[in-house]
Amino acid sequence: MGISAFDALIAADQKIEQKDWMPDGYRASLIRQIAQHAHSEIMGMQPEAAWISRAPSLARKAVLIAKVQDEAGHGLYLYAVAETLGARREDLLDALHEGRQKYLSFINYPTLTWADVGALAWLTDGAAVVNQVSLCRTSFGPYARALVRICREESFHHRQGFDLLHTLSRGTPEQRQSLQEAVDRWWQPALAMFGPPDSKSTHSAASMAWRIKRASNDELRQRFVDLCVPQAKALGVRLPDPALRWNAERGHHDFTPPDYDELMRVVAGHGPRNRQRLAHRRRAHEEGAWVREAAAAHAAKHAAAPGTAAQHASAQEDAAEWPLWEVFVRPRRGVSHVHAGSLQAPDATVAMHSARDLYTRREEGVSLWVVPSRSMAASDPEHKDAYFEPAAGKPYRHASFYPPPEGVEGL
Amino acid sequence: MTSLFDYLLGLGDDALVAAQRTAEWCARAPQLEEEVALANVALDQLGQARAFLGYAGELEGAGRDEDALAFLRDEAGFRNAQLVELPNGDFGTTVAKTLFLAAYQKLLFSRLARTAEPRLAGIAAKAAKESAFHVSYASAWTIRLGDGTPLSHRRMRDAVEEVWPYTHELFEPWTAPEAGLDPATLREPWLRVVEKVLGEATLSRPQDGWAATGGRHGRHTEWLGPLLAEMQSVHRAHAGARW
Ligand SMILES: [Fe+2]
Ligand SMILES: [Fe+2]
């Protein structure tokens, strides 16, 4: 397989898979985008996690924990996708911690009140849904599949945020005021999530040609604004844009685009909370090092089972890095285990615990297999023709090749 | 002997304060996989708290729901054992707290699941399964940290020793007629579970010495007040508001 086969697959709107040949630029673009997406998921936990301890009802507390947990899960699905492209999670995290790779700018704003928790979810998860629903049709198979799972969960995030705000909108005058103020704070950062305008976007053209991206920044931003306007009405809040109005000619709302200079400043590290968010993330990673090292050391001591950290230690430069495992879930009794995704674990016991938490927390399964990724053998895409095409010329293997004579039954 | 109402408060408060502590790990766990795991533990604990407190409120019949009980009682009204109030410390300390609590809860809930009080039995039956997973999770980590690196061994040993004095309170005489269960009878099976895990973790069981007490009667450590002040702050700032 080479460039012509790759181009043919893209042109036919087929998926590119892990072992397929792909241009270096395609691989690099994907890794850049997926890493930034994964970083945004895990960095995005912080503004909301800050409110778990103070959630004003136990029901809301549970919802918020579940949501923040999902974002960690999204990060995991996405880092696993990056691994299929040959990018190690540890290297991507280093790039995040050292500021070499970016995450979405809205995360660098503070959540000042409980209403911010709702506004953040309604607007930024809402923007993420618009963005990611479009991305579900991305040309890279593992990314597309992860996005399908993520989108299902994001719509829960979006809905619960709206529900939280809707409750405030029917509450006390103070609650209604905090609702309006929070929406005022989050509108611009949410609009900025779609990135720079198409005319200034540096990576968009190539990503569109390769069908990594399926819609432009400005198209998606417009779609988002059109969706928000009636929802804002239902909440009884004013969206903070005097220029916002329906344009019958275009069939869309006109609106003031976000301030791109501010977006660029915040992405470059000069937003209100960049410093604290990154420092928090780095600290958690550093303070966790002894735990990761301990588990790897324990696995090395008890390295009887295949796939333990020790077996792979030689191949890994970082002693604390855990090997990758593939997870298979039996959705219900009577059907086969299906590949769900992957995760990192020092050994089979921890892999099984994590698989249960990560891939079955919404009742997706009744049985689990975990297999060290390195123990999996896969057919080579180079051999696709030799392996699978010969099966095509043998229609006599199928019952349909033998039409029964008129009137004969039971065949 | 205490009333069923008080007993349910105790069970609910153990779970609620534990959930509050476990959830403090959100966005600061040692590995992304543990983010998901710890959040699951916190959600189980919170679910147990809501079930016990919700039932307590109905039983009392004074119009207090789970939120009124969680957010509008003061420190002295809380009936949890002091173990769950302890600060999280490092990951090892959290693992030790989770192991000791979950091993106790698993035994307790399994017994309560067989009582004749149907609502209590139902809540306990569901909670017992959750606690069983917490035991499995915390055991795996106790073993990996205890039998990991010299540093992790030292930290896990310190954690077990720090938390141990707070385990005795779990087995003090404290029960309701409907529960029909002397907590002291849980100590032997609890020790069997815990000692086996500690053994595999190459750790020894600490000496029994000073023992914390008083939580079931509303006497707490200096750490519960700040925890409650934070947890209750928004709810209390808006009296009568719906959320
Ligand atoms: Fe997400
Ligand atoms: Fe989300």
pLDDT tens readout for residues B124-164? 999 999 999 999 999 999 999 999 999 999 999 999 999 99
Residue A311, pLDDT above cutoff 70:
no
Ligand 1 centroid, distance to B179 Cα (angstroms): 43
pLDDT band at residue A304, thresholds of 50, 70 and 90? low
Interface membership of A45 toward B (CB under 8 Å): yes
Amino acid occupying residue A88? R
Interface membership of A61 toward B (CB under 8 Å): yes
pLDDT of residue A317: 46
Closest CA to A227 of A366, A123, A323: A123
Chain A interface test: which of B20, B35, B156 (most A C-beta within 10 Å): B35
- What count of other Cβ atoms lies within 10 Å of the Cβ of residue A223? 18
Q: Mapping DSSP to helix (H, G, I), strand (E, B) and coil, where does residue B32 land? A: helix
In chain A, residues with a C-beta closer than 8 Å to the C-beta of B137 are: 353
CA B67 to chain centre: 19
- Farthest-apart Cα atoms in chain A, separation: 81
CA distance A336 to chain B (A): 25
Query: pTM value?
Result: 0.95
**Which member of A46, A170, A288 has the closest CB to residue B29?**
A288
Is A178 within 8 Å of A114 (Cβ atoms)?
yes
pLDDT tens readout for residues A175-221? 999 999 999 999 999 999 999 998 887 777 888 888 988 889 999 99
- The reply to whether residue A49 touches residue B26, judged by beta carbons under 8 angstroms, is yes
* Pairwise CA distance, residues A358 & A76, whole Å: 9
Interface membership of A313 toward B (CB under 8 Å): no
Chain A interface test: which of B16, B17, B24, B32 (most A C-beta within 10 Å): B32
3-state per-residue secondary structure call for chain A: CCHHHHHHHHHCCCCECCCCCCCHHHHHHHHHHHHHHHHHHHHCHHHHHCCHHHCCCHHHHHHHHHHHHHHHHHHHHHHHHHHHCCCCHHHHHHHHHCCCCCCCHHHHCCCCCHHHHHHHHHHHHHHHHHHHHHHCCCCEHHHHHHHHHHHHHHHHHHHHHHHHHHHHHCCCHHHHHHHHHHHHHHHHHHHHCCCCCHHHCCCHHHHHHCCCCCCCHHHHHHHHHHHHHHHHHHHCCCCCCCCCEEECCCCEEECCCCCHHHHHHHHCCCCCCHHHHHHHHHHHHHHCHHHHHHHHHHHHHCCCCCCCHHHHHCCCCCCCCCCEEEEEEECCCCCCCEEEEEEECCCHHHHHHHHHHHHCCCCCCCEEEEEEHHHCCCCCHHHHHHHHCHHHHCHHHCHHHCCCCCCCCCC
Sign of CA dihedral A302, A305, A309, A313: positive
Structure token pair of residue A20: 């397929």
* Pairwise CA distance, residues B84 & B16, whole Å: 9
Ligand 2 centroid, distance to A140 Cα (angstroms): 22
**Which member of A59, A69, A289 has the closest CB to residue B39?**
A69
Give ipTM to 2 decimals. Answer: 0.98
Q: Looking at domain B4-237, which CATH architecture does it have?
A: Up-down Bundle (1.20)
pLDDT tens readout for residues B161-205? 999 999 999 999 999 999 999 999 999 999 999 999 999 999 999
Q: Of all residues in chain A, what percent carry a pLDDT higher than 70? A: 96
Residue A307, pLDDT above cutoff 70:
no
Put simply, the chain B residues between 188 and 217 with a CB less than 8 A from any chain A CB are: none
In chain A, residues with a C-beta closer than 8 Å to the C-beta of B70 are: 58
Put simply, the chain A residues between 228 and 247 with a CB less than 8 A from any chain B CB are: none
Residue B67, pLDDT above cutoff 60:
yes
pLDDT tens readout for residues A276-291? 999 999 999 999 999 9
**Residue of chain A with shortest Cα separation from B47:** A62
Residue A139, pLDDT above cutoff 60:
yes
**Residue of chain A with shortest Cα separation from B237:** A56
Q: How many CB pairs below 8 A link A and B?
A: 165
In chain B, residues with a C-beta closer than 8 Å to the C-beta of A361 are: 36, 40
User: CB-based contacts of A255: which residues, under 8 Å, 6+ apart?
Assistant: A191, A225, A241, A243, A244
pLDDT band at residue A314, thresholds of 50, 70 and 90? very low
Residue B221, pLDDT above cutoff 90:
yes
Put simply, the chain B residues between 87 and 106 with a CB less than 8 A from any chain A CB are: 90-92
pLDDT tens readout for residues B38-57? 999 999 999 999 999 999 99
Average pLDDT along chain A:
93
Ligand 1 centroid, distance to B32 Cα (angstroms): 14
Please identify every residue whose CB atom is under 5 Å from ligand 1, which is an ion: A 41, 71, 74
Residue A318, pLDDT above cutoff 70:
no
pLDDT of residue A306: 55
**Residue of chain B with shortest Cα separation from A295:** B144
pLDDT tens readout for residues B87-116? 999 999 999 999 999 999 999 999 999 999
* Pairwise CA distance, residues A171 & A179, whole Å: 10
Interface membership of A280 toward B (CB under 8 Å): yes
Residue A308, pLDDT above cutoff 70:
no
Amino acid occupying residue A248? A
Interface membership of A308 toward B (CB under 8 Å): no
**Residue of chain A with shortest Cα separation from B152:** A294
Residue A312, pLDDT above cutoff 90:
no
- The reply to whether residue A62 touches residue B43, judged by beta carbons under 8 angstroms, is yes
pLDDT of residue A199: 87
Put simply, the chain B residues between 122 and 141 with a CB less than 8 A from any chain A CB are: 133, 136-137, 140
- The reply to whether residue A288 touches residue B50, judged by beta carbons under 8 angstroms, is no
In chain B, residues with a C-beta closer than 8 Å to the C-beta of A358 are: 33, 36
Put simply, the chain A residues between 92 and 121 with a CB less than 8 A from any chain B CB are: 114
Check residue B206 and report its DSSP letter.
P
- The reply to whether residue A292 touches residue B233, judged by beta carbons under 8 angstroms, is no
pLDDT tens readout for residues A330-361? 999 999 999 999 999 999 999 999 999 999 99
* Pairwise CA distance, residues B176 & B25, whole Å: 33
Is A137 within 8 Å of A97 (Cβ atoms)?
no
Structure token pair of residue B167: 């385990």
pLDDT of residue A2: 84
pLDDT tens readout for residues A382-399? 888 888 888 888 889 999
- What count of other Cβ atoms lies within 10 Å of the Cβ of residue B11? 28
- The reply to whether residue B40 touches residue A69, judged by beta carbons under 8 angstroms, is yes
The three-point CA angle A338-A37-A269 to 5° equals 160
Check residue B144 and report its DSSP letter.
H
